[in-house]
C-alpha cells in the first residue's frame, strides 16, 4: 500500500487547477443507463472512484471510452463516452458496490429503463451506517416492488413501468435525490420530489438530464418537478468543478500561511467555506477563474462550524476545517450534523499534537502553535486529506499510511501541492 511522506513547514504559493467534481461525475455516469445513445462527459476527474463506477457500468453492458486521457493535463480535455445501447446485466455485485457506495446510483436508472435491478446493499462505512432506506421507500412510491434477499436489493417495476408520484423525503439525502430524479425521468406522468437536496452536483445532474431530453423544473430549489418521458437521447455535458477539492486547497493555503489561486473553479460553489475562512481571519477573494486565498501570517481565530446540507457548510470539508482550527488562536467548536461517526481523524490529529475533545456530535478544538509530524493512518477519503493538511503545517516528517482512500477522490494531489512548494512525495510499495 502506498504512503505519502511530507516534510512540513513550507508556506505554499502558486496556482492549482481544480478537477471536475467526483460527486457530480458519478451520478452523471449512472445517467447513461437511461438512454441507448451516447452520453459524453467532459472534465471527468482522474480518480479511482470514476474507474470503479466505469467498471460497474461496463458489466451492465455500457461501452465506456476515454479520450484526451493525458495524465499531465489533469482532467482538462478528458472526455468519457458512455453508451448503454443494450443493458446486458442488471446485477450490481457486492465486490464492486462495497468498494464504492455511490454504486447504488445505478438502481433508479436500471429500474426505470429495463424494469428490474439487483443491487448489493452497500453496507456501512468508516463514517457511519449510511442506510439506503430513503432510496428504496421513494422508489416504492413510484410503484417498484422491493425485497432484500441475501444482502441484495431486488427491485422490480410494474409491467407497464414506474409511475410518477408526489414524494416528500423525511430528511435531505443527496444520493436518494439523485436516484429518484433519474428514475422519474422515465416514469409515466408527473413526479414531484419535495425536501430534496440542493447540492450543486444535483443541479449539474438535472442540467445533463435536460440536455438528454428530460423535463425537469425547480433546479436549485428543494422541490423538483419531473414530467416523465418514454426515451432520453444522447448528450454532451461538462462536469462542474469539484468544490471539495477547491475547499481543501483553500485550507492548505490558509494553514501554511500561503498564497494559492484555485483555477477552473467557482467562488459560489465554496461560499459557505469562504464565509467561515473570512470569519476566522483568512483573506479570500473571487478571481476571474476561481478563488484566491492569501494569508501571510495574519491572525487565525478559532470559530464554530456546523455541517449542514447545501448551502450550509459541507460535511466533506469538516475534517479539513478542523485541522485548520488546530492551529487557531482560541477555541473552535466543530459540530457534525450529517454523519454520526465522522471524527475518525481526531485521534490521528491528536498524535500530531492537536488538542481536541469530542462530545457526541461536537468536537472542541483548542488551538496550538505547533503540530509535530508523526506516522498516521488514513481512515476515509476526507479524513486522509485532513492528515495531509496537518502534515503540511507540522514541523518534521509525517507519513500518511493507506493513501488509497485519498486516491478515490483527489487527482494528482502530491503533484498539485508540490507545484506550490510542498515537500511531499509518494512512497510506492
Give residues in contact with ligand UD1 (CB under 6 A): 23, 26, 101-102, 128, 130-135, 173-176, 197, 315-316, 338-339
- Is residue 125 annotated as part of the catalytic site, yes or no? yes
For residues 198 and 226, is the Cβ–Cβ distance under 8 A? Answer: no
Cβ at position 151, least distance to ligand UD1 in Å: 16
128: cell is 457511519
Which CB sits closer to ligand UD1, 172 or 254? 172
Which CB sits closer to ligand UD1, 24 or 392? 24
Which CB sits closer to ligand UD1, 251 or 292? 251
Those residues whose C-beta lies under 8 Å from the C-beta of residue 79, and which sit 6 or more positions away, are 40, 41, 42, 44, 66, 67, 68
Cβ at position 173, least distance to ligand UD1 in Å: 3
Cβ at position 191, least distance to ligand UD1 in Å: 18
404: cell is 488509497
Return the number of other C-beta atoms located less than 10 Å from residue 246's C-beta. 26
Which CB sits closer to ligand UD1, 253 or 338? 338
Cβ at position 195, least distance to ligand UD1 in Å: 12
State the residue for C-alpha cell 470514476: 50
Q: In angstroms, what CA-CA distances link 100 with 46, 52, 53, 95, 110? A: 16, 7, 8, 10, 18
Which CB sits closer to ligand UD1, 176 or 182? 176
Which CB sits closer to ligand UD1, 62 or 338? 338
Nearest to 239 by CA among 117, 75, 115, 92: 75
Cβ at position 382, least distance to ligand UD1 in Å: 8
CA pair distance 335, 100, nearest whole angstrom: 26
Which CB sits closer to ligand UD1, 184 or 393? 184
Nearest to 21 by CA among 46, 55, 57: 46
For residues 22 and 46, is the Cβ–Cβ distance under 8 A? Answer: no
Residue 42 bridge partners (DSSP)? 79, 238
What backbone torsions phi and psi does residue 197 show, to the nearest 5 degrees? -70, 150
Catalytic residue among 125, 208, 229, 274: 125
Of all residues in the shown chain, the one whose CB is closest to ligand UD1 is: 175
CA pair distance 284, 335, nearest whole angstrom: 23
Cβ at position 198, least distance to ligand UD1 in Å: 11
Give Cα 106 to chain centroid, integer Å.
17
Nearest to 391 by CA among 353, 341, 360: 353
Cβ at position 268, least distance to ligand UD1 in Å: 17
Nearest to 177 by CA among 209, 206, 145: 206
What backbone torsions phi and psi does residue 61 show, to the nearest 5 degrees? 110, 5
Please list the active-site residues: 125
Amino acid at each position: 500500500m502506498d504512503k505519502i511522506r511530507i516534510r512540513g513547514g513550507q508556506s505554499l504559493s502558486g496556482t492549482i487547477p481544480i478537477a471536475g467534481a467526483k460527486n457530480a461525475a458519478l451520478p452523471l455516469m449512472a445517467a447513461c443507463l437511461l438512454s441507448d445513445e451516447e452520453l459524453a462527459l467532459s472534465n471527468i476527474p482522474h480518480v479511482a472512484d470514476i474507474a470503479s463506477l466505469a467498471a460497474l457500468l461496463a458489466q451492465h453492458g455500457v461501452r465506456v471510452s476515454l479520450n484526451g486521457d493525458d495524465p499531465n493535463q489533469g482532467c482538462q480535455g478528458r472526455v468519457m463516452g458512455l453508451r448503454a445501447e443494450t443493458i446486458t446485466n442488471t446485477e450490481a455485485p457486492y465486490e464492486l458496490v462495497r468498494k464504492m457506495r455511490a454504486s447504488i446510483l445505478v438502481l433508479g436508472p436500471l429500474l426505470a429503463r429495463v424494469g428490474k435491478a439487483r443491487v448489493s446493499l452497500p453496507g456501512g462505512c468508516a463514517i457511519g451506517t449510511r442506510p439506503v432506506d430513503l432510496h428504496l421507500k421513494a422508489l416504492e412510491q413510484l410503484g417498484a416492488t422491493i425485497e432484500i434477499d441475501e444482502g441484495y436489493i431486488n427491485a422490480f417495476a410494474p409491467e407497464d413501468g414506474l409511475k410518477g408520484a408526489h414524494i416528500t423525503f423525511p430528511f435531505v439525502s443527496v444520493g436518494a435525490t439523485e436516484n429518484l430524479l433519474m428514475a422519474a425521468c422515465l416514469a409515466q406522468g408527473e413526479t414531484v420530489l419535495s425536501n430534496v437536496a440542493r447540492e450543486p452536483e444535483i443541479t449539474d445532474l438535472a442540467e445533463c438530464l435536460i440536455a438528454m431530453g428530460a423535463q425537469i423544473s425547480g433546479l436549485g430549489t428543494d422541490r423538483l418537478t419531473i414530467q416523465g418521458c418514454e426515451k432520453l437521447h444522447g448528450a454532451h455535458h461538462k462536469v462542474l468543478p469539484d468544490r471539495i477539492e477547491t475547499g481543501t486547497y483553500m485550507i492548505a493555503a490558509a494553514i501554511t500561511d500561503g498564497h494559492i489561486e484555485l483555477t477552473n473553479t467557482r467562488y459560489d460553489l465554496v461560499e459557505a467555506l469562504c464565509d467561515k475562512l473570512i470569519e476566522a481571519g483568512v483573506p479570500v477573494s473571487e478571481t476571474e477563474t476561481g478563488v484566491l486565498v492569501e494569508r501571510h501570517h495574519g491572525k487565525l481565530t478559532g470559530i464554530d462550524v456546523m455541517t449542514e446540507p447545501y448551502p450550509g457548510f459541507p460535511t466533506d470539508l469538516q475534517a479539513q476545517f478542523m485541522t485548520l482550527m488546530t492551529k487557531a488562536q482560541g477555541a473552535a467548536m466543530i459540530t457534525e450534523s450529517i454523519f454520526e461517526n465522522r471524527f475518525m481523524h481526531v485521534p490521528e490529529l491528536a498524535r500530531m499534537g492537536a488538542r481536541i475533545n469530542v462530545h457526541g456530535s461536537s468536537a472542541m478544538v483548542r488551538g496550538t502553535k505547533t503540530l509535530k509530524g508523526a506516522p498516521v493512518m488514513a481512515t476515509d477519503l476526507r479524513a486522509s486529506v485532513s492528515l495531509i493538511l496537518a502534515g503540511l503545517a507540522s514541523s518534521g516528517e509525517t507519513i500518511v499510511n493507506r493513501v488509497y482512500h485519498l486516491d478515490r477522490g483527489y487527482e494528482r494531489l502530491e503533484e498539485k501541492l508540490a507545484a506550490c512548494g510542498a515537500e511531499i512525495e509518494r512512497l510506492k510499495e
